[in-house]
Structure 1
């Protein structure tokens, strides 16, 4: 069942709702970040350079129920930038109702408007519910991610 939702840019007055949603996202992945990272990330989302970080909020009946963060960056294999969809979260109360799909499609639209048709993201292999959606609207790649050992 598709829930009617509105997708809009993050606004300064969204701080409490955004923090609640991003905390839910981080909790899902069993991680946390210091409050200074919350402050910095939110400030970046409110910045006026669309080539920097961008954030969207999904609302259902005026209530914030989802978020997505994305950014544009250069790529050595393309002349145009590419778009990295970094974080995507829908409140558990609306999962399976089209909120995640609406947020991804809003990123696709922003990328198209920016002349940046390539959009990509990562997810963990155990995120089976989200992967069912991703398999319908994107193409899985064979890449394996590595992180620097610290």
Structure 2
């Protein structure tokens, strides 16, 4: 496999970022209005925001994305990092791209002084869970939520 490069998104990347995020949302049977795409993209580019993104590139083509957010925690003096979205193009799943994206978040969060990286996945996402169990701990918490 050609080498994979991971780099933060830049303003020039919107045209390749959006289809990857759309594919991620489709994987989870979700659609979002255009206003959310536009707002999210602006936040990702705004250096005063705590939300970040990186793309995985192979042979000049974007093949994966990760979104992550720094936030305060009442359990630590340092910030935490929430890995919110992770997606790899279907043809490259199992080739190490997801792991590289997560490792990028680990390194970036450590450089930013975060004490931990955490994320969720759906219980049916067996392929991703296999990776996650190799590179992180599974603390056993169950998510509850209520839309407002």
1:56 matched residue in structure 2: 54
Instruction: Tell me, yes or no, if the aligned pair for 1:82 and 1:118 is still in contact at 8 Å.
Output: yes
Look up the match of 1:141.
139
What runs of 5+ residues in structure 1 fail to find an aligned partner?
none
Structure 1 stretches (4+) deviating beyond 4 angstroms? none
Asked if the contact 2:76–2:115 (Cα under 8 Å) also holds between the matched residues in 1, the reply is no
Give the equivalent residue in structure 2 for 1:36: 35
RMSD over equivalenced CA pairs, Å: 1.2
- Consecutive unaligned residues of structure 2, counting only runs of 5 or more, are none
Matches within 5 A, 1:1-150: 4-49=3-48, 52-148=50-146, 150=148
State TM-score, norm by structure 2. 0.96
- Flag the 1:105–1:3 CA change in 2: closer, same or farther, 3 A: farther
Total equivalences in the alignment = 148
| Bigger RCO (CA 8 Å, 6+ sep) | 1
- Tell me, in whole angstroms, the C-alpha distance in 2 between the residues paired with 1:57 and 1:98: 14
